[in-house]
């Protein structure tokens, strides 16, 4: 499964939102995510496993509980994959910025009641 397939699932994104706020037990994740999405404990556990297997979450035992936390490695990997496309949108945004600035300059340079805004008889309007 590709990193973006992992991140494309709304349940997994919600789990990552919870884990981004701090470590959470499996039970806490199930209570929140299960309630919001109407899914069972085994379904939430499956999503936690997918996040672990693809490097987006870690788990550690604490007594009888399993505590999950976000693994920044998976997020960093996805960010690096997106990095190769950054030039595409940055170039487009830079061009847009230039055009907007040019339009503002042109509007400021036009005198009020410029000839193209006058009627044939020379009146404004």
DSSP 100-116: HHHHHHHHHHSPTT-GG
Is 0.85 topped by the overall pTM?
no
CATH architecture of 3-72: Orthogonal Bundle (1.10)
In this model, does residue 71 exceed pLDDT 80?
yes
In this model, does residue 60 exceed pLDDT 70?
yes
Q: Specify the pLDDT at position 2.
A: 83
7 phi/psi in degrees, rounded to 5 = -75, -15
In this model, does residue 115 exceed pLDDT 70?
no
């Amino acid at each position: 499964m590709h990193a973006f397939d992992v991140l494309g699932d709304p349940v997994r994104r919600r789990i990552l939102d919870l884990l981004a706020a701090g470590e959470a037990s499996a039970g806490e994740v199930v209570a929140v995510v299960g309630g919001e999405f109407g899914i069972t404990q085994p379904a939430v556990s499956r999503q936690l496993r997918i996040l672990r297997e693809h490097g987006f979450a870690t788990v550690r035992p604490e007594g009888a509980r399993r505590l999950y936390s976000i693994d920044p490695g998976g997020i960093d990997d996805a960010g690096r994959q997106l990095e190769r496309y950054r030039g595409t949108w940055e170039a487009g945004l830079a061009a847009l910025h230039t055009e907007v600035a040019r339009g503002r300059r042109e509007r400021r340079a036009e005198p009020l009641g410029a000839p193209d805004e006058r009627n044939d008889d020379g009146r404004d309007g």
